[in-house]
Amino acid sequence: MNKISVIIPVLNEAKNIGGLLDYLVQNSNDPLISEILVVDGGSTDGSQKIVSELSKTQPKIIGLNSPKGRAKQMNFGASQSKGSVLYFLHADSIPPKHFDQYIVDAMDKGSKTGCFKMKFDNSHWWLQLAGWFTQFNWKSCRGGDQSLFIEKIAFEAIGGFNEDFVIYEDNDLIYKLYKQYNFKVLPYWLTTSSRRYQSNGIWKLQFHFWMIHLKKIFGASPKTLEAYYVKHIL
C-alpha cells in the first residue's frame, strides 16, 4: 500500500503551522500517512517550538532543520522520508479533507505526479479567476501553492528540486514533470493564503509574477530571477 510523506518547508510560520498540522492530523487517514515532516530553514518566531510541542502528542509529526531555501528544505525532507509518495505542501495552504485518500487513489490508478486545483482565501475577482483556471491541466496554470504529490522513485529519478532556484523552484520541477509524466490535476479544492497579494497589492504582485515567468521563458538564470524578486517583491 502506498503511504504518504507530507513535506512542509517552513520559515517563520508560527501563525500558520500549528493550525495546519492540526488540520492534517484531523482530516487524514492515519494508515495512509507515513509521517509529516516540517523542515525549518532557520525560523526565529517560535515555529520550531510549536512543531516540537505538537510532536509530543502526534508522533508522526517530525521537525527537521535544513539550510534556508525552499528547494533545499524540500529536498532534505524528501531524503529523510519513508513513504513511497511525497506530498509537498506550503505552510499557508490547506488541502481538501481526505487529501491523502485522493492522492493514494490517483497513484493506485497509475498517476506518478499531480496536484489539487486551488482557490484563494480572498473574494477579489482576479484571485477568484486565477484560482478557477487551476482546474485545467495546463502547465501555465501550475504553481507550488497548489501543492504537489509525486512518487518518490520518480522524484529521485528526475533529480528533485533544483537548489539553484531560490524562487520558482516549484515551477521548474513541474515543467520537467509535464515533459516526462501524465500530470494529474485532482478535482478537489485546496485553499491557499492571499497574504502576499494583500501585503504587496494584487496588481503589483501579479505584474511582477508575470515578469518572473517571462524572464524564465526567455532564459533568465536562477540568480537573475532571485535578484528581480528581491528588488520588486521582498
Residues 130 and 232 both lie in one domain: no
Residues 113 and 135 both lie in one domain: yes
Q: Can you give the pLDDT at residue 148?
A: 98
Tens-digit pLDDT string for the chain (234 aa): 899 999 999 999 999 999 999 999 999 999 999 999 999 999 999 999 999 999 999 999 999 999 999 999 999 999 999 999 999 999 999 999 999 999 999 999 999 999 999 999 999 999 999 999 999 999 999 998 999 999 999 999 999 999 999 999 999 999 999 999 999 999 999 999 999 999 999 999 999 999 999 999 999 999 999 999 999 997
Residues 189 and 222 both lie in one domain: no
Q: Can you give the pLDDT at residue 20?
A: 98
Helix (H), strand (E) at residue 74? helix 70-80
Residues 186 and 201 both lie in one domain: no
Residues 19, 16: Cα–Cα separation, whole Å: 6
Q: Can you give the pLDDT at residue 1?
A: 83
Structural domain harbouring 117 = 4-193
Q: Are 83 and 161 in contact (CB under 8 A)?
A: no
Residues 234, 145: Cα–Cα separation, whole Å: 18
Show the 3-state SS of 99-125. HHHHHHHHHHCCCCEEEEEEEECCCCH
Residues 177 and 212 both lie in one domain: no
Residues 162, 171: Cα–Cα separation, whole Å: 10
Label residue 123 left, alpha or beta by phi (over 0 means left) and psi (-120 to 50 means alpha): alpha
Please give the sequence-ordered ranges of beta strands (E in DSSP) within 108-215, or none if there are none.
113-120, 148-151, 184-192
Residues 76, 53: Cα–Cα separation, whole Å: 22
SS3 state of residue 73: helix
Residues 131 and 147 both lie in one domain: yes
Residues 189 and 224 both lie in one domain: no
**CATH number of the domain encompassing residue 29:** 3.90.550.10
Q: Can you give the pLDDT at residue 234?
A: 78
Number of helices (H) and strands (E) in the chain: give both, helices first: 10, 8
Residues 56 and 107 both lie in one domain: yes
